[in-house]
Amino acid sequence: QVQLVESGGGLVQAGGSLRLSCAASGTIFSIAAMGWYRQGPGKQRELVATISTIGTTNYKDFVKGRFTISRDNTKNTVYLQMNSLKPEDTALYCCNAGVRTIAASTYHDCWGQGNQVTVSS
């Protein structure tokens, strides 16, 4: 069984910064792409950023230049550094990873529990 445990959310003023972390644990054989999604109040969940196993990153336009995704493969952890935060960034942020367990031959999607980020104006 695999768990993704997130940390680092909270309340911050507009223009401030937060760093989210998401650590995978369990009987992990390998992890493929990892990413961050968010769901704002009254909105659908949307992709924020992804990172491949070799560090190739992709960002949605609304966070380009402000957010940075990174990963530490030795710790099975993905990070999201969020700078210049705006009130519209307020959302529940969830991490996602494609994980292959020791007992499995294929990868499956794993999700974190979600971490609230609130940006005040």
Q: Which residues of the chain, if any, have pLDDT below 70?
A: none
Question: How far apart are alpha carbons 67 and 40 in whole angstroms?
Answer: 17
Which amino acid is residue 23, in one-letter code?
Answer: A
Identify the CA nearest to 63 among candidates 27, 95, 37: 37
Distance between CA atoms of residues 35 and 22, nearest Å: 10
pLDDT of residue 95: 98
- Residue 57's DSSP bridge partners are 51
pLDDT at position 121 is 94
Amino acid type, 37 = Y
Sequence length of the chain is 121
For residue 71, what pLDDT is reported?
98
At residue 35, the pLDDT reads 98
Count CB atoms within 10 A of the CB of residue 52.
13
Place of tokens 């935060």: 85
For residue 88, give the nearest of 49, 48, 50, 35 by alpha carbon: 48
SS3 8: coil
pLDDT at 1: 86
Q: Which pLDDT belongs to residue 5?
A: 95
